[in-house]
Amino acid sequence: MKSIYEELQISKPLGSPQRELSVALLLTAERLRDVINRLCRQFDLTLQQYNMLRILKASYPSALSCSEINCRMIQRAPDITRLIGRLENHGYVERRKDERDQRVVRTMIRREGIDLIEGVEKKLAAFDSLFDCVNEEERSGILCVLGSIRREADRMLARNGCNGSSQNGANHNGANNGLNGAR
């Protein structure tokens, strides 16, 4: 396996072990994103559309508002209304006004969207196999370390006048974002 220095074709040190770790995490995240993007393209979906459908499937039969969806997204979708519109045009979701507050529009996944996600889920078994090289103890340790890094990132954002994980639309505090096994 190539080091990050070899992969990125750099010869100078990155400055610190922490910087090397952050670059390795970003490189790995990008590689995983590429794998999932290619899988999603087979179903004519973007990664954000897939993520949104997973969130809506996890909340089914309840409908969610745009803000409820966005706060559960892994990657923020500033054009969430347009994203929902594209999924609605394909017949995967439906929108309707909230009964209590007509200003709020709620989105619910349709049977077609559930069927599509179930098809993607079957293909994701191959993606999940990427992690077969990690045993249970290592997986628990990695999840713990990543949680600590996210908490520190949230603190840094808060110190700089941002709202932590809500700033980028990600919700990493255990809320059901559709990626935690709800199927």
pLDDT level of residue 181 (50, 70, 90 thresholds): very low
Residue 4: the pLDDT is 79
Tell me the three state secondary structure of residue 183: coil
pLDDT exceeds cutoff 60 at 29: yes
Q: Kindly report the number of other CB atoms within 10 A of residue 80's CB atom.
A: 19
Give the mean model confidence (pLDDT) for residues 57-76: 92
When pLDDT is averaged across residues 114-123 and rounded to a whole number, the result is 94
Q: Judge contact between 178 and 60, C-beta under 8 A.
A: no
Q: How far is CA 88 from the centre of its chain?
A: 20
- In angstroms, the CA 164 to CA 173 distance is 11
Comparing 88-92, 113-117, 136-140, 155-159, the range with the smallest average pLDDT is: 155-159
DSSP state, residue 61:
T
The label of the residue with tokens 């100078």 reads: 12
Alpha-carbon gap, residue 37 to 103, rounded angstroms:
34
Q: What is the mean pLDDT of the chain?
A: 85
Which of 83-92, 103-112, 121-130, 141-150 is the least confident region?
Answer: 121-130
In this prediction, residue 83 carries a pLDDT of 93
Q: How many Å apart are CA 89 and CA 77, to the nearest integer?
A: 18
- Residue 45: phi and psi, rounded to 5, are -125, 150
Contact call for residues 53 and 116 (beta carbons, < 8 A):
yes
Determine the 3-state secondary structure of 93 from DSSP: strand
168 vs 161: CA distance, rounded Å: 13
In angstroms, rounded to a whole number, what is the distance separating the alpha carbons of residues 70 and 166? 9
